[in-house]
Amino acid sequence: MVRIFNLQGAIVAIAILAATVYPLPSPLLAQSNGTVRRPTLQIGSEGETVKELQGVLKLMGYYTGQVDGIYREATANALARFQEDAGIRSDGVAGDDTWNRLFPSFGTPPRGAIAPAEPSPSGYPLLRKGMDGPLVTQLQGRLRELGFFEGTATGYFGDRTEAAVKAAQRRFNLSPDGIVGEATWNALNF
């Protein structure tokens, strides 16, 4: 199940717009233009940024292993498949080109945009009311498959999506806060 989107001529694996790109503690370096530079990752790398990569690859269907923050062969193979599909050098190393395809920069978020969400400890992105993009569309589709969401998936996390998330959280004995984090992603079998 590969999810690659073409957005404004650029291939985007998960279009987490500038308003939803989340900062991680430590090795990420903020640039003067407001973008975030992530470190190069390869077999043997460990840490929160590896969790972020594994979580995104898992959500996109490339990675099936544990999101544990340890960059092993399974992570490299999953990344190489993504790189090949994205039309970039397929070497299993997460460098600038790969990060830019996973998290494209769309400039400064508009005034009043939702603040970036913190990732869960596993690296899964958090989604909440006010966010939008293809990941929200995927969430809405899954909620519809499970009978929690009615109507068309719009890609906008509004009142209907929040109500569907809360209903799913109640059904799976989770705290019904309407925020999609690690426990909710897992309950929805992403």
Domains of the chain and CATH, by start: 5-102 (1.10.101.10), 134-187 (1.10.101.10)
- Residue 84 pLDDT class (50, 70, 90 cuts): confident
- Residue 73 clears pLDDT 90, i.e. is over it: yes
To 5 degrees, how large is the angle CA 38–CA 103–CA 59?
A: 105
Write the CB contacts of 173 (distance below 8 Å, at least 6 apart in sequence).
none
The pLDDT score that the predictor gives to residue 29 is: 43
- Residue 74 clears pLDDT 70, i.e. is over it: yes
How much of the chain, in percent, has pLDDT values that exceed 90?
A: 34
The pLDDT score that the predictor gives to residue 123 is: 63
Q: Tokens in use for 152?
A: 């068309």
CA distance 14 to 45: 22
User: Which three-class secondary structure state does DSSP give residue 58?
Assistant: helix
- Which of the residue ranges 79-88, 101-110, 131-140, 154-163 would you say has the lowest mean pLDDT? 101-110
Q: Output 35 or 87, whichever has higher pLDDT.
A: 87
The pLDDT score that the predictor gives to residue 19 is: 27
- Which of the residue ranges 26-35, 135-144, 155-164, 176-185 would you say has the lowest mean pLDDT? 26-35
Please compute, for residue 95, the number of CA atoms within 13 A of its CA located in the half-sphere on the CB side: 7
26: left (phi over 0), alpha (psi -120 to 50) or beta: left
- Residue 125 pLDDT class (50, 70, 90 cuts): confident
User: Which three-class secondary structure state does DSSP give residue 36?
Assistant: strand
- The dihedral built from the CA positions of residue 76, 82, 85 and 91, taken in this order, carries a sign that is negative
Q: Beta partners for 46?
A: 70
The pLDDT score that the predictor gives to residue 36 is: 58
